[in-house]
A and B are shown apart, each in its own frame.
Chain A
């Protein structure tokens, strides 16, 4: 177990910071959306909770967007055209989902959002 952890830390050290940022922001966003989904109808009147929750989620989205941009540009620079082309799609997906979303179908669109985050996480992990 100790060896594995040691190796894991070594792998992390070799990863680009932008990739680590994508993975981290992805995991936190997925967790955030799952919490939000579970709490939305149960504690709908907790306005302050959802205000702070959304601010944190917005900050995570900003981190996610910046890391995707950073990762794509650096991949373009190093000639990894596939990654450079695929990742920017995930910049637009939250806005496309937001455009079609409605309150009545908020759970469905939250699930779609979570699914796209999982796909981008898997893509990022495939780079390791």
Chain B
């Protein structure tokens, strides 16, 4: 499903460092491509695969369960650990939840890039009738209802919005709505991830937009407070919305991610030692 959207950026000379990226809910690897290229240029082999139910028709996404996303992502991760000394995980939105969930199960994850982590759907574009969601989600109505995607499409950058809106109309690279059944699976997966958050030992870099339209910084704050990692960095972005890998601060996001991974890589894998304890919270200066 959706294999044509998958990407693998592999160096010719055997690279020992790999980053496995996960895209967000109703998205596709398309949204991670620029980040993938930036990581590739920084000497990482980069992989990103379409999650089950994504990248094809909107109907397919209604038939998948969170276990399908998790099982397939874990399989990709295990495959990479056989070939690379260092495997890092990175994700946007639900992809960040996937990265954290895998790291809670596998202690050999070297580091996590958790971008716009979506544990709670409480952003400012969530409709006013959201209080009815428990009824919609837990009854048969979840197969009828979809949140229509609308402006700003997760982007503060207005020029990019038109491009994304056009892509969403094609309903392959990104959907123009969030099916409630998909949200139901995400919320169940979110509960699983929250319960296991303390098991995450890998260093975590959290980046979340202050004005995220889909999920407020509460999700990132939850991760920051509850992960078991000694190294955790939380950077709050001032000039982006949900799609931080495409929005105004994307270059800053890429650079920060690369610096974070390079710092970790400097210590791994020969010594098995981790960098000194680092527990920081910063705000980007509206870059």
| Interface residues in chain A, defined as those with a beta carbon under 8 Å from any beta carbon in chain B | 36, 40, 44-45, 47-48, 50-51, 53-55, 57-59, 61-62, 94-95, 97-99, 101-104, 106, 109-110, 113
Contact = CB atoms under 8 A, between A and B. Distances in A.
B258 to A, nearest CB: 38
A101 B140 contact: yes
Contacts of B142: 98, 101
B138 A99 contact: yes
B144 A104 contact: no
A94 B62 contact: no
Nearest to A93: B139
Interface of B: 58-59, 62-63, 129, 132, 135-136, 138-148, 176-177, 180-181
28 contacts: A40-B143, A45-B58, A47-B177, A48-B148, A50-B144, A50-B145, A51-B146, A51-B147, A53-B144, A54-B136, A54-B141, A54-B180, A55-B129, A55-B132, A58-B129, A58-B132, A58-B136, A59-B132, A61-B135, A62-B132, A98-B140, A99-B138, A101-B142, A103-B59, A103-B63, A104-B63, A109-B140, A113-B139
Contacts of A106: 140, 143
B79 to A, nearest CB: 29
B144 A54 contact: yes
A40 B176 contact: no
Does more than half of chain B's interface fall in helix, strand or loop, or is it mixed? helix
B140 A110 contact: yes
Given A54-B136, A55-B132, A101 B143 contact: yes
Given A44-B59, A47-B148, A51-B146, A57 B141 contact: yes
A40 to B, nearest CB: 6
Nearest to A59: B132
A104 B63 CA distance: 7
A54 B140 contact: no
Contacts of A94: 135, 139-140
A128 B61 CA distance: 46
A69 B226 CA distance: 39
Nearest to B146: A47
B140 A47 contact: no
Contacts of B136: 54, 58
Nearest to B175: A47
Contact of B140 (A50, A53, A62, A113): A113
Nearest to A39: B144
